Structure 1
Amino acid sequence: MQLAVLGLNHKTAPVAVREKFNFPNERACAVLRRLRNYEYISEAMLLSTCNRTELYMVLDNAAEAVPFIKRLVQHWAGADYESEYFYNLSGTLCVKHLFYVASSLDSLIIGEGQILSQIKNAYQLSRNIGMTGTILNTLLNRAIAVGKKVRTDTRIAYSSVSVSSAAVDMAIAALGDITSAQILVVGAGHMGELTAQHLLDKGAKTIIVSNRNFRHAQTLAEKFNGRAIPFDDMFNQAVRVDIIITSTGAPHYILTKENLGPLLPLRQGRPLLVIDIAVPRDVDPDLADMAGVTVYNIDDLENVVDINKGLRAKEAYLAEQIIEEEIAALKERLRYYTMRPVMVQLHDKMNFMRQKVLKKAFVKMPELTDAQRRLINLMTQRLEHKFLREPMKVMNAMAGTPLEEQYKETIRDIFLLNEDGEEFGDESYIEDWD
């Protein structure tokens, strides 16, 4: 059994590659259902955000499962597949990576808070499909707790920059002043709302909101004293605005040379700044070839957030210390999990025997009071625990070592444990008191 992650992120792959591996919930469910039917993968979770796509797995047979997963990834990528975009980590390295992700140390913007909710959502989706078990349940709950602890015990999230605020800072860096600029926000989701708020905080006066669902656009516009326009009117509005910031969930480009290009001459040479913070991208990169148009995408935010990284270096160091401590604690907790089924079987059998003996003993001693019965039951429980204490310590010590399988087999043989998990049908080991 092996814990592993296969993924790519903003450090290893450009947005043009990452967008091919964007998995909305429906597509993620389809992937997880397919993996559920594959015998060598017992647990899995797919985490897909604008800056990363990662598949966390518990592999029953890594030699068989890894080639299968790589073929699946190649199928998703098609002709554009390049192995160097991906990382494949296992064991402790996988745990460490997930803890860094949950703590936002691996984010494009260190300290951003959205990643924790994204992990929770991915985890819940996987649980609903039936693809998490003991290992991933333990790992993911711990990762979420570590992410919260890092944000609580350090100042890594203090005055945190976000993707949306970085986009607004980029607009200010390009134009110098946005107080008199007309700004079109395309997309009325969470990112669109955050962007509108940051624009107002930086002094923007005129915000126009467009969305495929016009009611959603109206709701967002009303929050910020803005104006909503129908999605089909967005292109005409582009003639008048100075900045367009897009953050939709569209699976294809919504701004292209074909639909925006013919309107550009009507701008009479006024420059247009387009900032695309969506993955998959909303804006065709070829649009940047047109005169007067500047296009930035989410990868261009890197320069804006470099300052953020420097300010957070000290807090990141403190966060790393927390992560190292949590990894050590989790390794100790997980170490005996592969031995645990045998330990449970042994405990269950001993308890089964104890209960049978007690039942027959109480039948022979009807004069016992309830208090006396409880006392005898407690005494036998303590005897059972004392008897099992040493075998359990030995099994726990052997977990994760080369001798683990040998010890499992020996324990099963000595105590006649039933591997298929059925109730113990052979009662010959219980003394006949009749």
Structure 2
Amino acid sequence: MQLAVLGLNHKTAPVEIRERFNFTNDRVASILRRLRNYDNIPEAMLLSTCNRTELYMVIENPHEAIPFVKRLLAHLAGEHYKGEYFYNLTGTLCVQHLFRVASSLDSLIIGEGQILSQIKNAYQIARNNGMTDTILNTIMNKAIAVGKRVRTETKIAFSSVSVSSAAVDLAINILGDLTTANILVVGAGHMSELTARHLIDKGAKTIFVSNRNFDHAQELAEKFNGTAIPYQQMFKQAAQADIIITSTGAPHYVLTAENLGPLLTNRKARPLILIDIAVPRDVDPALNDMQGVTVYNIDDLENVVDVNKNFRTHEAKVAEQIIAEEIAALKERLRYYTMRPVMVQLHDKMNFLRQKVLKKAFIKLPNLTDEERRIIDLMTQRLEHKFLREPMKAMNAVAGTSEEERYKQMMCDLFLLNESGEEFGDESRIEDWD
């Protein structure tokens, strides 16, 4: 068994690649159900956000499973196999990576708070689809706890920026002042609401909101004294805007040179700034080729995030120490897991034999009182525990070492353990006690 993660993120793949691997919750569930039929991966969780797609797995045979998963994800994303985009980490490195992701140390914006809820959501989908068991349940619950601990015990989230606030900061860097800017927000989801809030906080007086669902656009606009625009009129409003910030869930470009370009001919020298914080992208990069139009996507925000970088770097070091502590504790907890099936079988067999002998003893001693029966039962339990103590200590000591497989086989041979997990019911092996 090996714990592994296969993924790509904002460090290894540009947004035009990441958007191909951005899967909806329904698609994630479908992929997990497909993996459920693949015996080589008994446990799996797929995390898909705007900045990363990562498959965490418990693998039987890594040499077969990893190439299979790479081909599967590339096929589902409609992307020709590009190995350079993927990273593959195993064992402790996989756990360390997960803990860093949960603590937002691996985020585009260190300290952002969305990633922990995204991990919780991905974990819940995996559980709902029967793709988690002892190992992933243990590791994912620990990762969520580590993420919470880092945010509680450090100031990594103090004055942190988000993708939405970084988009607004970028708009300020370009225009200098938002008080007179004509601003259009396309989309009415959570990211759009955060963006609208930052716009108002930074001086914007009026914003326009457009969404396919006009009721949602109205609901968002009312929160900030903005104006809702029917989706059919969105392009006309876009032609009048100074800044357009888009964050929809559309699987295709919303603003293109074909649908927006003809409306921009009367702008003269007035610039238009398009800030696309959606993945998949909302804005066709071809708009960049039009005079007076500048397009920024989510990858361009990295240059404007976090004005207090030195402070956050110090807090990140504290967070890394917490992660190191938690990894050490988890390794100790998991150390005996691979040996556990043999230990359980040995305990079950000894208990089966004890109960068998005890039953025959009570038949031959029918006049025992309940208290006498209880004392004899307790004495045999203590004998069983004493007998098992040294074998259990020996197995626990070699768990996770090069001696593990040898000890497993030795215990199975010595105590005639049934590795298939069947009941120890072969009475021909149990000597009659008369």
TM-score by length of 1: 0.95
Distance in 2 between the 1:190 and 1:373 partners? 65
Distance in 1 between the 2:367 and 2:214 partners? 80
Q: Is 1:114 matched up with 2:125?
A: no
- SS of the equivalent of 1:419 reads coil
Compared CA separation, residues 273 and 360, structure 1 to 2 (3 A)? same
Q: Please identify runs of 4+ aligned residues in structure 1 that moved more than 6 A.
A: none
Structure 2 equivalent of residue 406 of structure 1: 406
Distance in 1 between the 2:243 and 2:81 partners? 34
For residues 184-220 of structure 1, what are the alpha-carbon distances to aligned partners after superposition, in whole Å with 9 as ceiling and x for unaligned?
1111111111111111211222122111122222222
Shift of 1:120: 0.8
Structure 1 equivalent of residue 158 of structure 2: 158
Instruction: Answer yes or no: is the 8 Å Cα contact 1:110–1:308 preserved in 2.
Output: no
How much is the aligned-residue C-alpha RMSD, in angstroms?
A: 1.9
Structure 2 equivalent of residue 183 of structure 1: 183
Distance in 2 between the 1:62 and 1:189 partners? 39
Structure 1 equivalent of residue 172 of structure 2: 172
- SS of the equivalent of 1:39 reads coil
For residues 124-151 of structure 1, what are the alpha-carbon distances to aligned partners after superposition, in whole Å with 9 as ceiling and x for unaligned?
1111111112211111111111111111
Structure 1 equivalent of residue 70 of structure 2: 70
- SS of the equivalent of 2:240 reads coil
Shift of 1:39: 2.3
For residues 92-114 of structure 1, what are the alpha-carbon distances to aligned partners after superposition, in whole Å with 9 as ceiling and x for unaligned?
11111111111100001101111
The 5 A counterparts of 1:341-360 are 341-360=341-360
Shift of 1:247: 0.8
Instruction: Answer yes or no: is the 8 Å Cα contact 1:163–1:277 preserved in 2.
Output: yes
Partner amino acid, structure 1, of 2:13:
A
Deviates more, 1:126-135 or 1:362-371: 362-371
For residues 316-370 of structure 1, what are the alpha-carbon distances to aligned partners after superposition, in whole Å with 9 as ceiling and x for unaligned?
0000001111111112222221111111111111122222333333444455444
Q: Is 1:234 matched up with 2:256?
A: no
Deviates more, 1:86-95 or 1:259-268: 259-268
Shift of 1:180: 2.3
Instruction: Answer yes or no: is the 8 Å Cα contact 1:110–1:309 preserved in 2.
Output: no
Structure 1 equivalent of residue 220 of structure 2: 220
Instruction: Answer yes or no: is the 8 Å Cα contact 1:168–1:195 preserved in 2.
Output: yes
For residues 260-313 of structure 1, what are the alpha-carbon distances to aligned partners after superposition, in whole Å with 9 as ceiling and x for unaligned?
111112334322211100001000011111122121110011111253543301
Shift of 1:433: 5.5
Distance in 1 between the 2:402 and 2:206 partners? 68
Instruction: Answer yes or no: is the 8 Å Cα contact 1:161–1:308 preserved in 2.
Output: no
For residues 235-265 of structure 1, what are the alpha-carbon distances to aligned partners after superposition, in whole Å with 9 as ceiling and x for unaligned?
1111222211111111100000011111112
Distance in 2 between the 1:238 and 1:409 partners? 71
Structure 1 equivalent of residue 6 of structure 2: 6
Instruction: Answer yes or no: is the 8 Å Cα contact 2:357–2:433 preserved in 1.
Output: no
Structure 2 equivalent of residue 95 of structure 1: 95
TM-score by length of 2: 0.95
Structure 1 equivalent of residue 382 of structure 2: 382
Q: Is 1:29 matched up with 2:19?
A: no
Deviates more, 1:420-429 or 1:60-69: 420-429
Structure 1 gap ranges (5+): none
Structure 2 equivalent of residue 338 of structure 1: 338
Shift of 1:81: 4.1
Distance in 2 between the 1:69 and 1:314 partners? 37
Shift of 1:431: 5.9
Compared CA separation, residues 431 and 306, structure 1 to 2 (3 A)? same
Instruction: Answer yes or no: is the 8 Å Cα contact 2:211–2:217 preserved in 1.
Output: yes
Partner amino acid, structure 2, of 1:110:
I
Structure 2 equivalent of residue 199 of structure 1: 199
Structure 2 equivalent of residue 297 of structure 1: 297
For residues 161-180 of structure 1, what are the alpha-carbon distances to aligned partners after superposition, in whole Å with 9 as ceiling and x for unaligned?
11111111111111111122
Q: Is 1:276 matched up with 2:281?
A: no
Instruction: Answer yes or no: is the 8 Å Cα contact 1:109–1:309 preserved in 2.
Output: no
Shift of 1:32: 1.4
Instruction: Answer yes or no: is the 8 Å Cα contact 1:99–1:146 preserved in 2.
Output: yes
Compared CA separation, residues 370 and 204, structure 1 to 2 (3 A)? farther
Compared CA separation, residues 360 and 224, structure 1 to 2 (3 A)? farther
Partner amino acid, structure 2, of 1:241:
A
Shift of 1:76: 4.2
Distance in 2 between the 1:361 and 1:373 partners? 10
Q: Is 1:361 matched up with 2:354?
A: no
Deviates more, 1:354-363 or 1:169-178: 354-363
Instruction: Answer yes or no: is the 8 Å Cα contact 1:342–1:412 preserved in 2.
Output: yes
Compared CA separation, residues 416 and 180, structure 1 to 2 (3 A)? same
- Report sequence identity in percent: 77
- SS of the equivalent of 2:42 reads strand
Structure 2 equivalent of residue 54 of structure 1: 54
Deviates more, 1:310-319 or 1:81-90: 81-90
For residues 9-61 of structure 1, what are the alpha-carbon distances to aligned partners after superposition, in whole Å with 9 as ceiling and x for unaligned?
11111111111111111221222122221222221111111111111111101
Distance in 2 between the 1:287 and 1:421 partners? 63
Structure 2 equivalent of residue 313 of structure 1: 313
Distance in 2 between the 1:366 and 1:189 partners? 74
- SS of the equivalent of 1:156 reads coil
